[in-house]
Amino acid sequence: MLDCMLGSLLNVIWCVIMLIFVMYVFALFVQQLLASYLVEDGGRESPETVAEIYRFFGSVGMTVITLFQASTNGVDWRDPYLVLAISGPVLPAAFMCYVAFVFISVWNIITSTFVEKALKLAQPDIDLLVMEQQLQDYEDTQMLAQLFAHMLHTDEDGLQRVGLEEFRHLVENSEFRSYLQTRGIDIKNAETFFKMLVELHGEPTIDAITFANACVRMKGAATSIDLQTVMYTTHLMNKEQRRAFQFMYSRLKSIESMLREKPDEFDWPEGASFQSPKSQPNLSREWSRSSPLSPLSRGLEKLSAAEH
């Protein structure tokens, strides 16, 4: 609350300046008309009436105070209105317009300014949001782990592990499904989800904590950063595959050149022969295989030995 008050201090200063400016301009207008009235017709008024005029509008400062009181219920606006009504219809009408303007426009503008500023200041900062999200994920993970404790068996290492059959039973469990739904966790294809975790960890079973963390990460829809991560990973895999294909192609080209230039240096199996390409000169070769050991693998062994 103190942060909101300190953060709104600048708004307070500007609102006070605006209010003083409005009251000062109207006070000058009232003083000008009242002075003209008192000079011309003030002698016909009783001393009590003149005293009332000076009590509310004796100077510019006193007029500003009277206008402020009428705007903040410090004095009933009817009393200054009756005093101004002595001078004629212009000043009372102007005073009524001033009261309506202040109550309908000025105060609403000031209130909306403070409310907007307070709402901005009341929003938690990024660090607090991150901490709350991490705390919520931790609590969800612990709740899932406790839920698994009543449904899973413990292995020899003292860890509770989830297999495919156990996961199918968990998905069919109404308590487990209800918990996931209340936490906003949506696992549409349970078997595919579990196989993905198995492939990721390289084991047929997954410990309960790892499985609970994976379930918590399924909460909510995919964000933009998730999509960017998938696109980036796919791009890296594509580059690695291209690099691997280029390396394999260059190695096969070198093997092909060696087989073409020095076929007699290789130990060919009996009945095997190297034939020249017909349709694709630099990429295809036809082999006759009369032995379990491929001539290509023998050529690779020969090439490796020659390089070393």
For 25-44, how does the pLDDT look when each residue is reduced to its tens digit (9 = 90+)?
999 999 998 888 888 876 67
What ranges do the domains of the chain cover?
A: 2-122, 128-217, 225-307
- 165 has pLDDT over 90: no
Taking residues 120-148, report their average pLDDT.
74
At 150 the pLDDT is 64
CB 194 within 8 A of CB 218: no
Q: Which residues contact 190 (CB under 8 A, 6 or more apart)?
A: 167, 168, 171
Tokens of 131: 């901490």
At 174 the pLDDT is 76
- 289 has pLDDT over 50: no
Fold (CATH) for 128-217: Recoverin; domain 1 (1.10.238)
Cα 59 to chain centroid distance, Å, stands at: 57
In DSSP notation, 253-282 reads: HHHHHHHHH-GGGS-PPTT--EE--SSSTT
pLDDT category, 95, cuts 50, 70, 90?
A: very high
Cα 33 to chain centroid distance, Å, stands at: 59
Tokens of 126: 């990024």
CB 67 within 8 A of CB 98: yes
Q: Distance between CA atoms of 175 and 108, rounded to whole angstroms? A: 51
- 288 has pLDDT over 80: no
Q: Where are the alpha helices (DSSP H) in the chain?
A: 2-7, 9-41, 47-57, 60-71, 78-84, 90-101, 107-122, 126-149, 164-172, 174-182, 190-201, 208-217, 224-261, 295-307
- 46 has pLDDT over 50: yes
Most confident of 78-82, 120-124, 187-191: 78-82
- 269 has pLDDT over 80: no
pTM of the predicted protein model: 0.43
At 146 the pLDDT is 73
Average pLDDT over the chain, rounded to whole? 75
Most confident of 61-75, 130-144, 225-239: 61-75
CB 265 within 8 A of CB 302: yes
Q: Distance between CA atoms of 211 and 162, rounded to whole angstroms? A: 8
Most confident of 126-130, 151-155, 303-307: 126-130
- 272 has pLDDT over 60: no
Taking every pair of C-alpha atoms in the chain, what is the biggest distance, in angstroms? 142
